[in-house]
């Protein structure tokens, strides 16, 4: 596929079709691609390859040279880190949820969540690697332990990590699922861990069913993407993606109508359209002058198969994100 065609396409790693961007009614043309993921991380680049990580046993990965053809990569963990059994005693197996990744301080920081479905006995850990290339002799994932955790009685749930830098060189972690919504803590850019155990935990957004945050800075604003609705129900999933923005990474994030996201605001960004059901877990890759938006969806023509979507992200005259054809 040529760069021109790639730039104009909304690429779905599946069979052909169309996914509608909720705010504009515009759509991109779908190219046939074949990769199954759920809760994809932000896409990052290592040398000349793109990488993403996703929910599954050992934290699976996949990689691509062109954002079109994707191949499976290695898992991060052969065995669960030792701390997991004590922090999340009812968790079974070596499966981890909704990882996210960033390159900072000459290393890749990979955040992931350990939890039991429907409970907030949860923890987010971080692992580091100087490279994502498994053929590089330096390649080695080292788990660095817990970043933040929640226990029964807390009003938040420490899952769905989303790591983001600020304009001043700081590093932050958004997270949260249901309970009192989306939270934010500051990280030490050198270690990737929380700056202190009792550092401020900011509230960013709340709704009846909310999770899967993603923060991206564009221009003078930080944009907070979140999911409303329910995932993990195949063709019955009701996931949709909402967005708000703020002048500061700590908020407040407001939507197009001016409503604070902490008070139930959320401008609709992407929703179910035809076979493309329940888009979720958004991420933004800025690759030179082009921004790409990634997510998963449930393919209604393949029994709700979990599938990767990547689209061209643009910004309208008022500075709001849209998915549009070229």
Q: Do residues 296 and 62 make contact, with C-beta atoms less than 8 angstroms apart?
A: no
* Cα distance between residue 271 and residue 279, in whole Å: 6
Q: Do residues 63 and 49 make contact, with C-beta atoms less than 8 angstroms apart?
A: yes
What pLDDT, on the 0 to 100 scale, is given for residue 4?
34
* Cα distance between residue 17 and residue 174, in whole Å: 33
Give the torsion through C-alpha atoms of 62, 296, 182, 206, to 10 deg.
Answer: 180
Query: Is-cis flag, bond preceding 252, omega within 30?
Result: yes
Q: Do residues 76 and 110 make contact, with C-beta atoms less than 8 angstroms apart?
A: yes
Q: Classify domain 3-323 at the CATH superfamily level.
A: Glycosyl hydrolase domain; family 43 (2.115.10.20)
Which structure tokens are listed for 157? 């749930």
Length of the chain measured in residues: 326
* Cα distance between residue 150 and residue 266, in whole Å: 25
* Cα distance between residue 210 and residue 239, in whole Å: 9
Flag residues of the chain having pLDDT under 70. Answer: 1-34, 324-326
* Cα distance between residue 64 and residue 210, in whole Å: 30
pTM of the model: 0.91
Which positions are annotated as active-site residues?
Answer: 39, 211
What pLDDT, on the 0 to 100 scale, is given for residue 24?
33
Which structure tokens are listed for 113? 């969540």
């Amino acid at each position: 596929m040529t760069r021109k065609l790639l730039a104009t396409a909304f690429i779905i790693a599946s069979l052909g079709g169309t996914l509608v961007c909720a705010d504009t009614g515009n759509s991109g043309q779908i190219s046939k691609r074949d990769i199954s993921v759920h809760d994809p991380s932000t896409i990052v680049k290592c040398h000349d390859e793109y990488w993403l990580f996703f929910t599954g046993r050992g934290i699976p990965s996949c990689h691509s040279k062109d954002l079109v053809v994707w191949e499976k990569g290695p898992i991060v963990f052969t065995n669960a880190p030792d701390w997991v059994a004590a922090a999340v005693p009812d968790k079974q197996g070596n499966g981890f949820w909704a990882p996210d990744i960033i390159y900072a301080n000459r290393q890749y920081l990979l955040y992931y969540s350990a939890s039991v479905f429907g409970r907030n006995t949860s923890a987010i850990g971080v692992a580091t690697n100087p490279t994502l290339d498994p053929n590089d002799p330096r390649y080695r994932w080292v788990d660095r332990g817990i970043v933040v955790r929640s226990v029964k009685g807390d009003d938040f749930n420490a899952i769905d990590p989303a790591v983001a830098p600020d304009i001043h060189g700081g590093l932050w972690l958004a997270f949260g699922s249901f309970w009192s919504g989306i939270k934010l803590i500051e990280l030490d850019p050198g270690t990737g861990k929380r700056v202190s155990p009792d550092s401020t935990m900011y509230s960013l957004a709340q709704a009846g069913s909310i999770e899967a945050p993603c923060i991206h800075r564009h221009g003078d604003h930080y944009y907070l993407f979140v999911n409303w609705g329910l995932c993990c129900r195949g063709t019955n999933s009701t996931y949709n993606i909402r967005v708000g923005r703020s002048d500061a990474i700590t908020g407040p994030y407001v939507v197009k109508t001016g409503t604070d996201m902490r008070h139930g605001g959320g401008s609709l960004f992407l929703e179910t359209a035809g076979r493309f059901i329940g888009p979720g877990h958004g991420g933004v890759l800025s690759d030179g002058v082009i921004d790409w938006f990634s997510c998963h969806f449930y393919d209604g023509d393949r029994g709700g198969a979990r599938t990767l979507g990547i689209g061209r992200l643009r910004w309208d005259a008022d500075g709001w994100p849209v998915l549009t054809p070229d």
